[in-house]
Amino acid sequence: MRVAIAILLTCICLQACSSPTRTWEAHSPNEVWTAMIAVAQAPEYQSDNPRKRWHVFENDVVVDRDSGEIRIHRVLRRSMKLPMQPVQRDDREMIFEISLKNQLPPITEFKELSTQLVPVRTLDEAERYFNQVDELLNMQ
């Protein structure tokens, strides 16, 4: 029983620790908000790393301008063939929320709303999202 409680508490702590943020020093809140929406609506999952290549099968985006929040329900799939291994098929479903804090410089926060048994997936997804926003903001 103690082991089960310890495992449960560890999972809760790991989940609670995974709310990455990013500060956008050189951009206005309006620029960041526009880029956040664009990246949420048209995600890119191409990568040189085959383990990070996914196909988007569902991407439901709800934008709440008043609260500065974007809620995303996304279903990803991939079929991967690595050397000396059979074909591996994976599905991943995520629900997350990205919020823009009302301050200068603008700060965005990424929260995973679905339960991920591997917290690093949340960190990877947040990093991917923030990097795409950054690329969009710095296209000049």
Helix (H, G, I), strand (E, B) or coil at 76: strand
| pLDDT recorded at residue 118 | 59
| pLDDT recorded at residue 85 | 83
Helix (H, G, I), strand (E, B) or coil at 130: helix
Count CA atoms closer than 13 A to 138's CA, side-chain side: 9
Contact 59, 41 (CB under 8 A): yes
What is the pLDDT averaged over residues 103-122?
80
What is the pLDDT averaged over residues 65-91?
88
| pLDDT recorded at residue 7 | 58
Residue range 21-37, pLDDT digits in tens = 898 888 999 999 999 99
Kindly report the average pLDDT of the chain as a whole number: 83
First-to-last alpha carbon distance for the chain, in angstroms, is 58
In order of their start, the domains of the chain are 2-137 (3.30.530.50)
What is the pLDDT averaged over residues 81-106?
86
Between these two residues, 65 and 1, which has the higher pLDDT value? 65
Burial of 59 (0-12, 13-18, 19+ CB in 10 A): middle
DSSP symbol at 44: -
What values do phi and psi take at 93, rounded to 5? -120, 130
